[in-house]
A and B are shown apart, each in its own frame.
Chain A
Amino acid sequence: MIADLGAEVIKVEPPGGDLTRRRGPFPEDKADPEKSGIFIYLNANKRGVVADLKRPEGRELLHRLLAGADILIHNVAPGERAAQGLESAALRAAFPKLIIAAISPFGETGPYANWRGYELTLSNAAGWATLSPGASPYPELPPLKCFGSQCEFQGGIHAAMVALAAYMHRLKTGEGQSIDVSEQEAVAAMLEMNFMHWTYAHRETSRLGSRLLGPWFISDTADGKIFALAVEEDQWKRLVELMGNPEWANDELFKDRIARGQNQDALKALMGEWLSQWKTQELYRAAQEKRVPFAPINTMRDLYENEHLAERQFFTTLEQPGIGGVKLPGMPSKYGATPWALRRPAPKLGEHTEEVFCGELGILRERLNELRKAGVA
């Protein structure tokens, strides 16, 4: 995100490469560290160097880089930082103007500071999976993780935002500082009314139960699925009109949004027949024309073919060496004065090691060759 704003970002990888290089998705499912889709998305607009921070020579390279850096961002676990020269207090002392944003599953203090966290366990630790899928009738099915790497992304977005705030402070005062971002805390603060149900009304929340209001469900259409929702009473009235004013809509069971939530099974059965006669995208437009907030259960293909996103030029083609053109999701905020652009592809492993270390930091080529032979760079 910070590279996309125009910052010069140098990505430091260990000799084996970033973990995401092994995660894919890969073209034709052939694992190749230079062709991971997620790596490319997350690292376009950056340059890449290799330095093994577990070795003293690698940490020396890091210090040379930090001498010319404004911001250091990493997500090395608190317990592993000392061994990699990434302890915040030591870095603050050595580089008083540096901004250090350190992301970790549980933050760098407290009893779980050294606990491990992957996306799945973070989603449970933050209380999100516990609420999902929501209104479930199946107690035997476990709490459900949302698709993708949402908790990890939130750690990253929060860190990017706070790092820029720290940069604003540095512009005013010249002072650097370190930032401790907890992924568990970031996600726990994003769970709608979850927390307040306990602290305001002493109710424990659950993935089971019924919806607070209705209609609120996923249903089949002639060619796909639609998410049927009406939040306000006036939206429901216009939806009833769109359905051709069926008699059942006047039933006491559906008299207000709360009742429609409680009697959702009956409502879904009655609406289902009408919904199934529509094509998804046509129903979406017809409902929205009446300001009823339906949305399609879009597939990835639907999204790449979406006319609205096309007109807003949301997807942007990156020419990635070894693959060719790859259409990536673009910047979701359009800045009037400082528009975004893809300036360079994601780096190959160590692509800019020589350019940065020799060309910009003045390390002799012979020395770099030694470091490479020793497996440090």
Chain B
Amino acid sequence: MANLPISGVRVLDFTWAWAGPFCTMQLAHLGAEVIRVETTARPACVTRLIPPFADDIPGPNRAGYFNQYNQGKKSILLNLTRPESIDIACQLVKHCDIVADNFAAGVMDKLGLGYAKLRTIKPDIIMISMSGYGQTGPFKGFVGYGPPASAASGMFFTTGYEGGEPGEIGVSYPDPNAGIFGAFALMAALTHRALTGEGQYIDQSQFETALALMPEGLLEYELNHREPERHGNHDPVMAPHECYKAAGDDEKWVSIAVGSEEEWRALCRVMGNPGLADDPRFKTAALRKRNEAALDEIITAWTRTRDRWETAKALQEAGVAAFPSMSNKDLAEDPHLNARGYFTMLEHPEVGRRQHAGIPWKMSGTPCEVRSPAPLRGADTEAVLKSLLGMTLDQIEHLRKSGVLI
């Protein structure tokens, strides 16, 4: 197991909720030893407390949210409201390469775990803070969550059905996005340290990581002083480009996108209507875009009586991009994802074998795999404090009883 891309890197992980844990999970996937700091003293770790729970039985080790995004990590209990815990955390930093948090700006400083202090303990430490709005600026103290970050970054304003109101985007996307940007930034900082010996502090703003994904909208305004319009599933250039109703209940749809003449002709052939390709309303890309509503109607008349998979497969065989709208069940049962070994099925001590989304990349030289399921709360407290700090069982027991290691 030593042969992973960043084997030997140790992370002290103060992250919570989603953005931060999503970041440190990437590090665990890539081979780092990630030591997650938790406490039972207050319900800080919200993802252990919200449904879905395994078989709907609540319990801190049964939450799907926690168990998905903490695969491959260790867990230790440290009650950070106690000064002894801060001392222990500082001693652990000596043995770590990376410290990660996604608290509100300034919280790590107030705890006595700010970068200025940690670098006196470990001069080449790399630290990342992934707050809602960053560590500086007039909004630095604002409360950030993923959904409001979608609103603030313009994702809601630009998403929505044609001619309709601003829409929501279905998931708290700025959270995992901040996490993945954070993991990228840490790879960059690790590379810099490997080349120069120098550590550093990274101040990352969730707001800004979301804005980095909005160039089409922002540049529309910058170049033309015009706000982007909401077009539902339509595209500024490509047509047809929509989710079409398929046979079956309200959840059965098939998406189709056509980007070239070749694809357009193939679509018409598969629809059994090759003459449509030269219909004066549709024979060029510009005309198809202009007469999109009529085109959507014709395609819907074809898709709505057919099974979504039958449509998608026939189109893909002819070289047209098409895919059913996948539910969570569809994903779990998908033959392609299963054939690629995307899912992990590790034995978890409390909830047994559960299917989890795994690692979305494959490496030829250092194949990554999820090495362990999400940890039980505090499962590694003893082992970590013994092996890294040389504590005895008596010392650990004493600290537990006195409310430090809880």
A112 / chain B contacts, CB cutoff of 8 Å: 316, 336
Interface pick from A202-210, A242-250, A367-375: A202-210
Indicate if B272 sits at the interface (CB-CB under 8 A).
no
Indicate if A178 sits at the interface (CB-CB under 8 A).
yes
A332 / chain B contacts, CB cutoff of 8 Å: 181, 204-205, 208-209, 211-212
Indicate if B56 sits at the interface (CB-CB under 8 A).
yes
Complex contact A190–B177 (CB within 8 A) = yes
CB distance from B189 to the nearest CB of A (A): 7
Chain B, interface residues (CB within 8 Å), range = 35 or more
Complex contact A311–B159 (CB within 8 A) = no
Complex contact B143–A190 (CB within 8 A) = no
Complex contact A5–B188 (CB within 8 A) = yes
Q: How far is the CA of A203 from the CA of B51 in the complex (A)?
A: 12
B150 / chain A contacts, CB cutoff of 8 Å: 227
CB distance from B168 to the nearest CB of A (A): 4
State which of B180, B250, B356 has its C-beta within 8 Å of the C-beta of A161.
B180
Q: Which of A87-137 contact B (CB under 8 A)?
A: 88, 92, 106-107, 109-112, 115-135
A194 / chain B contacts, CB cutoff of 8 Å: 171, 328
Complex contact A229–B145 (CB within 8 A) = yes
A179 / chain B contacts, CB cutoff of 8 Å: 361-364
Interface pick from B106-114, B273-281, B319-327: B319-327
Complex contact B245–A314 (CB within 8 A) = no
Indicate if B314 sits at the interface (CB-CB under 8 A).
no
- What 1/0 flags go to B236-262 for Cβ under 8 Å of A? 111001111100001101111101000
Of A27, A106, A112, A126, most B-chain CB atoms within 10 Å = A112
Q: How far is the CA of A165 from the CA of B188 in the complex (A)?
A: 9
A157 / chain B contacts, CB cutoff of 8 Å: 177, 180-181, 184
Complex contact B342–A148 (CB within 8 A) = no
Q: How far is the CA of A367 from the CA of B213 in the complex (A)?
A: 41
Q: Is the interface of B mostly helix, strand, loop or mixed?
A: mixed
- Given contacts A229-B148, A332-B208, A334-B204, A308 and B139 within 8 Å (CB-CB): yes
Interface pick from B86-94, B216-224, B384-392: B216-224
Q: Is the interface of A mostly helix, strand, loop or mixed?
A: mixed
Indicate if A222 sits at the interface (CB-CB under 8 A).
no
Considering the complex, give the chain A residue whose CB is closest to the CB of B158. Answer: A147
Indicate if A26 sits at the interface (CB-CB under 8 A).
yes
CB distance from B199 to the nearest CB of A (A): 8
Q: How far is the CA of A287 from the CA of B376 in the complex (A)?
A: 37
Complex contact B215–A41 (CB within 8 A) = yes
Indicate if B160 sits at the interface (CB-CB under 8 A).
yes
Indicate if A197 sits at the interface (CB-CB under 8 A).
yes
Q: How far is the CA of A216 from the CA of B148 in the complex (A)?
A: 10
State which of B55, B136, B192 has its C-beta within 8 Å of the C-beta of A312.
B136
Indicate if B149 sits at the interface (CB-CB under 8 A).
yes
Complex contact B224–A25 (CB within 8 A) = yes
CB distance from A31 to the nearest CB of B (A): 10
- What 1/0 flags go to B142-157 for Cβ under 8 Å of A? 1111011111111111
B244 / chain A contacts, CB cutoff of 8 Å: 142
Indicate if A225 sits at the interface (CB-CB under 8 A).
yes
B259 / chain A contacts, CB cutoff of 8 Å: 118
22 contacts between A and B (CB under 8 A): A25-B223, A37-B219, A41-B215, A88-B364, A120-B321, A129-B255, A134-B169, A143-B255, A146-B169, A146-B173, A158-B360, A161-B184, A168-B194, A180-B363, A182-B342, A196-B64, A199-B332, A200-B67, A206-B327, A309-B211, A328-B215, A328-B218
* New contact pairs (20) apart from A38-B215, A126-B326, A309-B137, CB-CB < 8 Å: A37-B215, A110-B339, A111-B339, A116-B321, A127-B326, A132-B168, A132-B169, A147-B217, A148-B217, A157-B180, A168-B194, A178-B364, A192-B65, A193-B64, A195-B328, A225-B157, A299-B157, A303-B218, A330-B208, A333-B128
